[in-house]
Amino acid sequence: SAVFKKMVVGVDFSEHSDRAVKAALQLARSVGGSVVLVGVIPSRTEIVPSGTSEDQVTGSIEHRLRDRAAELSKSSGVAVDYGVEVSEDPAEALTRFVATWGGDVLVVGTSARTGLNRVLVGSIAERVLRSSTVPVLVIGPSAAI
């Protein structure tokens, strides 16, 4: 059996996370694996628009993830699930989710912004690399996928 059967993908609905999702789906299809999309929601109330509760924001993101998972599963033929973590620390939340869910690999996208600590990978991807207990697949902006 393949090493990477259960793939966890960090999703923030950016172009970079879309590329990570695409790579995970291709890998999952090739090994008969599955994918889970994970969104990390900050618990800070600054992200909450006036008159909106944190529960509404969480529900909205969860709804987007659920719809995206269903759409990707249908279009790719790969089993796609989703999960939501509430945390101020996306890297910690992703590595915690992988450990809890039993993922085989964590897939993250990066913008590879310039700057001393971001030459190779973005700051969240870099922190995930340092703390993850499973292999991490980082999809850069120029990766051919």
First-to-last alpha carbon distance for the chain, in angstroms, is 24
Q: What is the band of 143 on the pLDDT scale with cuts at 50, 70, 90?
A: confident
Look at the chain and report how many structural domains it folds into.
1
Q: What is the mean pLDDT of residues 16-42?
A: 93
What is the pTM assigned to this prediction? Answer: 0.82
Q: What is the band of 16 on the pLDDT scale with cuts at 50, 70, 90?
A: confident
Q: Which domain holds residue 126?
A: 9-89+101-139
Write down the mean pLDDT value for the chain: 83
Q: What is the mean pLDDT of residues 41-45?
A: 67
- The CATH number that applies at residue 62 is 3.40.50.620
* pLDDT value for 47: 53
* pLDDT value for 23: 95
Q: Is 145 domain-assigned?
A: no
Q: Is 1 domain-assigned?
A: no
Top mean pLDDT of 53-67, 70-84, 87-101, 119-133 is at 70-84
Cβ-in-10-Å burial (0-12, 13-18, 19+) of 89 comes to middle
Q: Is 129 domain-assigned?
A: yes
Q: Is 3 domain-assigned?
A: no
Element (H, E) at 10: strand 6-11
